[in-house]
Structure 1
């Protein structure tokens, strides 16, 4: 089992080999980084396989494997719709419809960052600064969530302090992002991507083999529908192989809106406007490389998201069949928050008496003993609230929850069910997932701050050599901010939430201006800036005052409502609806209306943006300057 504390010399040797390989690839990236174009977009000569795997490894992080895999353990296989959107939207639409226009316009305008692409397309320093500021200010939240997930797993897996694990993650990431730029990031992403592939293949195979095959595993999980905790049933949970109940106007439909609007739409659509992913399209030489990358990226994403979502759901079945024996003590959940949190959950302890009947274990003052929730099981007894439970084969029937942290489900399953050697491999996969995403995040943070903020605020002329020193310093600043957030916020449940928040924010603020700028000549700079402002403003307002989970955590809404977690706390369903549902349509409408009544771009500039002849001339100039 992998639940042992500490590291053996074999564990240390395997990890060192992996880190040495990562360091070597980072050194190759550093050696190949001779210009700002190398640092920013890999010299625009990246191989399609490297680009596809790097794109996927950047896309997939501990948020997907641990965070959303754990959420699947709570909510079930309805999360597979996110895998469908990840492939259909994040790969097919992104590569086939957005990849080539992004690559082409980026080459024509000489753009190196996502913010610079928008700024040059709209001839607006304000647009570029706005985009750079949003990325620099909010991406550290996403980075911190990824870093926290990896650090918690490492600390739990090997019995080391969280602070030590966090420091290791930060130093390793900084070691190859700061000097090596995007080439180092993409080389190491590729190695990490293949480690993730091997780990997910084995994880999926092992789980199904333990449960009697694909058909038997899914039949068993379907039959466990009546084992869903009562609090989850109350918000629409109908079983781990079913979609939540759909409707409007009652709390029993809350889960549908949590799963569909926040998880499926927020992350599945928001991927189109992710700055660290969009810049990948500008790293290849032609559309041919993008087309060749589509099947590679699709298979990678299918495996990297599908496997943890399936395994997270099936972990419920595995624990029902193979979970730890209770040795005569049953712990039954008697109080938990409606959204699955168990910070205030308690369990009543029961045991079998000589006659075989299950009776309460008495504590102080001869009252039934209660302890903080550890394992939820089912035994045909009634607790103080009158809820009935049924014991299954003397084992825990629902996976262990620790303080309601969904991200603990996958690590707990790995440490309980899998052989010890796989714990090391899975740790490397998580390390790979976290580092590949964090490296791209910090690279994007640094280039946005250096290129889109520092150089624009100081009015550095476009076309001049970018300041690599400023960008590398910005990477370090972003890293320090993310580490500080990770050190302060350790609740693993924030991983999935922070991911959805950042993806949704990018969709509302960037997507209309980004897609409109690629395909429509009539979109104006005023329209783009207004759209970005509306998208960000509504998203921020929704998170501060409407969406109960985030608003109550921030605390500002309580000052306005007198203690209520949302301005719409008394209106069913709205407090769990994600801001993307409101912000993205309004942001798009703003772009259309404002562009219709404001000054159109100059014809000469539109020719520069959209003329293929201009692209060929630009490519020849770059080749002449190179050789």
Structure 2
């Protein structure tokens, strides 16, 4: 369906104008490093909630996981449960308040800086920064791909043009305005996302004859499950896969646990807790963040499977087949095929908002990490704004290059890869830093390194989706996965996170705890 060019241009110009205005306001309010790095520690709780939610929910959730749910069914709704229970309630109440308190007490400006100061360990700061710089460009590239693919599909412009223009627009206000500009624009983009996803859910059910008729029609498609998916345990789009089948293990360990737990150790999210002035602001933010995440993920994982009903009724084919076999194209293709022109424009803005909000946060995180945490020229913990801005530009270029190198069907998987590695490496040490009176430096070092190593070994030699692509296992042992099924579909987080936690507890049990103050402000 063609989009009315004049209407699209007018709405898009208004949107970009408001984004630029908010970026300019952020730029004018950015007077020093505290403003650029942690938004001056005075952000409104509603802005915090919308910024957190918009950063968390990206094109990965809407396009990537929406497409996966179109392929595998509504079982992914369990991820919504974890996103709210863990990603909002646990993250804000148990992690957020302590992160805010320690961030203020230590004067920490970034996530690696916070860990380094809590443990009074330059090594922990540096290794955390290295993990971020190595892994985050993969996730960032996936977000770039999601936004660019929708622009390509909607406006019929070359993918390369869409990708480069998309990255350039976001780079503009991130480099100039810092975290204040990022969070202000996030709040706007979060509001647009909420409206777009709400209308998408309503229109989908209206087109399919109502909730009851749509869900009944989806259930009746069970006999059409592709033979390969049925053999792997899929029972239909309205039911869970067979317990412990390959698809069940993939859905639960990779999608649900990988993202639902991985959110607790996301550097770009954790730093947001250091942008508010008190615990009351965090409590108020929960009341906005919970419903927001419910709508964003719940709608994507509901509409995704229902696209099969629409495509069957209007073309006699399943959604993934209609999208040319690329799960990342299902949601964009459905929107352009089923929705009226005006909503295509609104949803494109919602999708761009989702991508831009997450991209801006990732660009900012990578820029501060390479320009501050890993910058050997930083003296006495005093950041250089110029170095951070240059670092941000460098990582934007790197992420764009990575986006060109990644294969199709990668958006959801890249998200899981990044979040799983962060969870395995950081969660035990992060929790220990937040709640121990004298956190053990050695325990944290061992936990972070063994967690990251366990994650890499399982990824390179066992988890077939990645090990087959990397080729290390095949080169050394002649097989893509060194362990038989079902281990080949068990996500690395299921192994690496317990390894990380156990090693931390073992070290704590056998060492004489060295005194460490959580208020030490040395880098």
Normalised-by-shorter TM-score class: over 0.9
| Alignment gaps of 5+ in structure 2 | none
Match of 1:506 in 2: 422
Equivalent position of 2:195 in the other structure: 198
Partner residue of 2:481?
566
Does residue 290 of structure 1 match 2:282?
yes
- State the 1:398 CA deviation: 4.7
Q: How far did residue 172 of structure 1 move?
A: 0.6
- After TM superposition, the score normalised by the length of structure 2 is 0.97
Take 1:202 and 1:79, find their aligned partners in 2: how far apart are those partners? Answer: 21
Matched, 1:308 2:305: no
TM-score normalised over the length of structure 1: 0.81
Q: What is the 5 A alignment of 1:529-608?
A: 529-562=445-478, 564-568=479-483, 571-602=484-515, 605-606=517-518, 608=519
**Structure 2 counterpart of 1:318:** 310
Please give the alpha-carbon distance, in whole angstroms, between the structure 2 residues aligned to 1:599 and 1:158: 63
Q: Larger radius of gyration, structure 1 or 2?
A: 1
Q: Is the 8 A contact 2:197 2:295 kept in 1?
A: yes
8 Å contact 1:524–1:599 — kept in the other structure?
Answer: no
Partner of 1:486: 403
C-alpha separation in 1, matches of 2:470 and 2:326: 19
8 Å Cα contact 2:70/2:319 also seen in 1: no
Is the aligned partner of 1:450 residue 2:355? Answer: no
The 3-state SS of whatever aligns with 2:321 is coil
Q: Name the counterpart of 1:364.
A: none
| Per-residue deviation, residues 507-556 of structure 1 (Å, max 9, x unmatched) | 00000000111112353111101100001111111111111111111122
Structure 2 CA distance for partners of 1:482 and 1:7, relative to 1, 3 Å: farther
Q: Which moved more, 1:262-271 or 1:424-433?
A: 424-433
Report what 2:339 is aligned to: 418
Structure 2 residue matching 1:319: 3-state secondary structure: helix
With over 3 angstroms needed to count, the CA separation of the structure-2 counterparts of 1:53 and 1:459, relative to structure 1, is closer
Report the count of equivalent residues.
521
Unaligned runs of 5+ in 1: 248-252, 325-394, 615-627
In structure 1, distance between residues paired with 2:447 and 2:338: 49
Match of 1:130 in 2: 127
2:145 and 2:163 in contact (8 A); partners too: yes
1:204-353 equivalences in 2 (<5 Å)? 204-247=201-244, 253-321=245-313, 323-324=314-315
Query: Deviations for 1:415-457, whole angstroms, at most 9, x for unmatched residues?
Result: 1111111111111111100110000001000111122111xx3
Q: Please tell me whether residue 432 in structure 1 is matched to residue 353 in structure 2.
A: yes
Paired with 1:257 and 1:55, the residues of 2 have a C-alpha distance of 29
C-alpha displacement of 1:320:
2.2
Mark the CA change 1:281 to 1:397 in structure 2 (over 3 Å): closer, same or farther: closer
CA distance in 2 between partners of 1:497 and 1:399 (Å): 17
SS of the counterpart of 2:374? Answer: helix
Q: Secondary structure at the match of 1:400?
A: helix
Is the 1:527–1:594 Cα contact (8 Å) retained in structure 2?
yes
Aligned-residue RMSD, C-alpha: 1.5
Residue 561 of structure 1 and its aligned partner are, at CA, apart by: 2.3
Is the alpha carbon distance of 1:526 and 1:264 closer, same or farther for their aligned partners in structure 2, counting shifts above 3 Å? same
Q: Which residue of 2 aligns with 1:28?
A: 25
Is contact 2:71-2:319 (8 Å) kept? no
Give the deviation of 1:211 after TM superposition.
1.5
Structure with more of its chain in helix, by fraction: 2
Q: Which has the higher contact order (CA 8 A, sep 6+)?
A: 2
1:154 to 126, 142, 151: 151
Residues 502 and 45 of structure 1, relative CA distance in 2, 3 Å threshold: same
What is the deviation of 1:227? 1.3
Q: CA deviation at 1:215?
A: 1.9
Q: Assess if the C-alpha contact under 8 Å between 2:22 and 2:184 holds in 1.
A: yes
Instruction: Measure how far apart 1:402 and its partner are.
Output: 4.2
> Structure 1 residue 104 and structure 2 residue 105: aligned?
no
Asked whether the 8 Å contact 1:7–1:158 carries over to 2, the reply is no
Distance 1:427 1:482 in 2: 22
Name the counterpart of 2:76. 79
Give the CA deviation at 1:585: 0.4
| Separation (CA, whole Å) in 2 of partners of 1:558 and 1:16 | 51
Q: Per the alignment, do residues 441 and 398 of structure 1 end up closer, same or farther by CA in structure 2, a change over 3 Å counting?
A: closer
Equivalent pair of 1:401/1:408 in contact (CA under 8 Å): no
Asked whether the 8 Å contact 1:523–1:592 carries over to 2, the reply is no
